[in-house]
Amino acid sequence: MHRGEPLRAIIISQAPGVLGSYGPDGARTDGGRTEWSTSPRDEEDGVPAGKTSLTLRVRRFSPATMKLWSSVLGAGALLSLQAAADIHERQANSDQSSNYIPSPGSSGFYVGNSTAAVTFDQHSILLDGKRIMVFAGEFHPWRQPSIPLWRDILEKMKAGGYNAVSIYLHWGITEGKRGTLNFEGHRSVTKFLDVAKQVGILVIVRPGPYINAETAGGGLPGWTTNLADRARSNGTDFTAAWTPWISQVSKYVAPYQYPDGPVIAMQSENEFLSDGVEPELPYTYGHTDYMRQIIATMRKNGITKIPITYNDFWPSGRYASGAAKVDLYGWDAYPLGFDCTNPSV
């Protein structure tokens, strides 16, 4: 059938218990199947020559049977409605608040709330063993140099229904000159976390070292291009380059881990390839060691109460297991797809 043409027939085959057959003009046909031949245009579109048929079987029931089924289905619907009403009444008359975490930032949310680390299961993050469904938006503090506006942005996110914010931290603008980490002004980690705590919004910290974030070099400092090692590898020079950055960020974040602050997770790297999944790619060798070193550096510098996460760029299971296993594996979804070679798509 040629694209754009309407369907030329609805064909119902005649069989025991079946209503009958109808041709393209709507006329009843007797017995067998109604068929039609493909046209030359069909064959041009890749439909093989010959006859094609579409069969739909519809069973006929007696009036008594139909009446019986109507009664049964009606009774079932009434029972379901009654059961739902009973459950709703029981829940309405009982206090369910103990099963859920209070609103972030509410009285007593942080201080003395728990001594346990943030936990999770197959359903959700748990704080104090109580469920919280994390709805996070994305905000990059270093893109907004006017620090007073941070609060305004977070307040608007919270008013819009978000209870968390995910933030990238940019190594490249913090260590423009090797050996000099500048966390002043809009580069400050602690200033932002203080504002988030005051607003009452949870935080997921993502310091890379590589962050992508549509930044030049994925957030790596320009001077890393002069290193002998390949970037994002376990090479000695590259390891020595990123270690001070991840160490210092971890030290700044550590006091803000829940329950003392709003940080509930910290991400290692970003949509990173692995040795096990892409063994045919020469530039993936050493990636397991690199990821393991990042995680170890975060833990060594105080990230001990919250899960370390990883965002796979499709559900391949990278770092969900193995020597560089993260605590909480996740993957990014791109419903509309993308093409890096053609950004206009």
pLDDT tens-digit map of 144-181: 999 999 999 999 999 999 999 999 999 999 999 999 99
20 burial type by CB count under 10 A (0-12 exposed, 13-18 middle, 19+ buried): middle
342 burial type by CB count under 10 A (0-12 exposed, 13-18 middle, 19+ buried): exposed
Q: Enumerate residues 6+ apart whose C-beta is below 8 A from 101.
A: 127, 128, 130, 131, 132
User: Which token pair is 131?
Assistant: 């469920």
Q: Domains of the chain: which residue ranges?
A: 101-331
Beta bridge partners of 37: 51
Written out in words, the top-level CATH class of the domain with range 101-331 is: alpha beta
Q: In the prediction, which pLDDT does 170 show? A: 99
DSSP state of 144: -
pLDDT average, residue stretch 263-278: 88
Q: In the prediction, which pLDDT does 333 show? A: 87
Q: Do residues 8 and 1 make contact, with C-beta atoms less than 8 angstroms apart?
A: yes
Q: In the prediction, which pLDDT does 12 show? A: 34
Report pTM: 0.70
Q: Enumerate residues 6+ apart whose C-beta is below 8 A from 66.
A: none
Q: Do residues 265 and 307 make contact, with C-beta atoms less than 8 angstroms apart?
A: yes
Distances from the Cα of 118 to the Cα of 122, 127, 274, angstroms: 14, 6, 27
Helices 287-300, 236-253: axis angle to 10 degrees equals 30
Q: Residue 182 — pLDDT band, cuts 50, 70, 90?
A: very high
pLDDT tens-digit map of 60-116: 556 776 666 566 666 666 666 677 667 666 666 666 666 666 677 666 666 554 456
Quick check: 308 pLDDT over 60? yes
Residues of the chain with pLDDT > 70, as a percent, come to 65
Q: In the prediction, which pLDDT does 279 show? A: 62
Of the two residues 264 and 97, the one the predictor is more confident about is: 264
